[in-house]
Chains A and B, each alone.
Chain A
Amino acid sequence: MVFLTAQLFIRSRGPDEFWRKRQIFKLAAHYIGRKRNCYSIAIKNVHRSLLKTTKGRQLKKQDMRELWETRLNGATHEHNISLKILLEGLNRCNILLNRKSLAILAIWEPRTFKCLSDIACAKAKLGVWLTFLENQSLSFSWTSWACCGVAVFPVPIAQTGS
């Protein structure tokens, strides 16, 4: 079909009706009931689901962050501090590990995480938060260093290391 004028080109809309509908039906193939067979109902649900997937990509990032925080909360409470103290203490030490890698370390490298929480706790103790910590009546087990071995002993080294 040859369009001699631009006007006619605008009037013809896309592929044939059958193929246009088939696109939608393809996306609705796994639905149940009339949602998958009736076009007018199918298109509504397909639009709804596509909108949700677009939104969901942002929501996933927020959810992951929440999940890491929950995990870290659990991990820090094992060492008698809270997540807030851990993040604040590490930040003051200029240790810039994010929530994701901290959560991974807490799960897979518990001795490293213990060391990190000790550092954070010691740093927080130096600052104003000392009173805050005392109010919470948290006890810190510094004596546990020796029995846990070498890895949990935070030691300053002369280079850029901690």
Chain B
Amino acid sequence: MAAFGSFNRLFNFTTNTCVKRILPTSTNKQYYLGLKLQQIEVAGYASHRQPIRYKLPWFKPKPSYQEEIPEEYEEKKEKAAADVINKINKQIATNQVGRLFAVIYLCGTQFKITENDVIAIEGHWPPQPGDQLNLEKVLLVGGKDFTLIGRPILNRELVSVNATIIQKTLSHTITHFRMRPRKQFKRINFIRIPRTMLRINSITINGDIDKKKEVEGLDRIY
């Protein structure tokens, strides 16, 4: 097969050069088309190596489920919801929420935190000791009698989680040892992962939960 292929290529080359010499360029293309067809790969063979895409990559697939949207709203339920929101607002206003906890997303991991917690973040992270941070990716905040759940995160203005970086250290020495028996292959590396300690200063809910400000992010530079 390989010999046939190489012969074919050689044959093409010779015919091509001959034809080019004899005919003008415009007719050359038409004449050559028949010869070229032999060399086109079969679709099946090509698909075996790389699957053919029928969709464009930026079109998202349809969700596999069909959602029924309930049409009628029960007054009872709505009233109950309003009651609950009122109760939560009252608790926040009178500062009876108890010790708040939150689930935050930081450096690719989720942490469940409360006030005065110290969390350790592994890996390279630019902030330096003494920096004050406002952690904004808050997935969930809970108090004594209620929980606010973000989809996926809560409003930045609603919850503020303040933290201070207290320490930057390295972890213990991790030995990364690779060896293949009877193959004279042996490598040993020592790793120390940078670790940042973070203290959570405060978790607070600012204002009513059901009110949305007209203008947001005025205090932000970026």
Contacts and interface: CB of A to CB of B under 8 A. Distances in A.
A39 interface: no
A91 to B, nearest CB: 10
B65 A92 contact: yes
B175 A50 contact: yes
Contact of B112 (A108, A111, A158): A108
B66 A97 contact: no
Interface in B184-222: 188, 209-212
B155 A160 contact: yes
A119 B151 CA distance: 12
Contacts, number: 117
Contacts of A47: 177, 179
B65 A129 contact: yes
Interface string B136-157: 0001101001111111111100
Contacts of B112: 101, 104-105, 108
Contacts of B166: none
Nearest to A114: B147
A101 to B, nearest CB: 4
B29 interface: no
Interface of B is mostly: mixed
B93 to A, nearest CB: 16
A159 B177 contact: no
B121 interface: no
B85 A157 contact: yes
A100 B139 CA distance: 13
B175 A161 contact: no
Q: How large is the interface on A (under 10, 10 to 19, 20 to 34, 35 or more residues)?
A: 35 or more
Which 8 pairs of residues, A with B, have the shortest CB-CB distance?
A127-B65, A50-B177, A96-B152, A162-B149, A94-B151, A101-B110, A112-B147, A155-B81
B142 A109 contact: yes
A150 to B, nearest CB: 5
A147 B70 CA distance: 25
A151 B146 contact: yes
A128 interface: yes
A156 interface: yes
Nearest to A47: B179
A95 B175 CA distance: 38
Contacts of A111: 147
Interface in A76-100: 92-98, 100
A6 interface: no
A101 B65 contact: no
A51 interface: yes
A112 B142 contact: yes
Nearest to B158: A159
B49 interface: no
Contacts of A105: 103, 112, 140
A137 B142 CA distance: 32
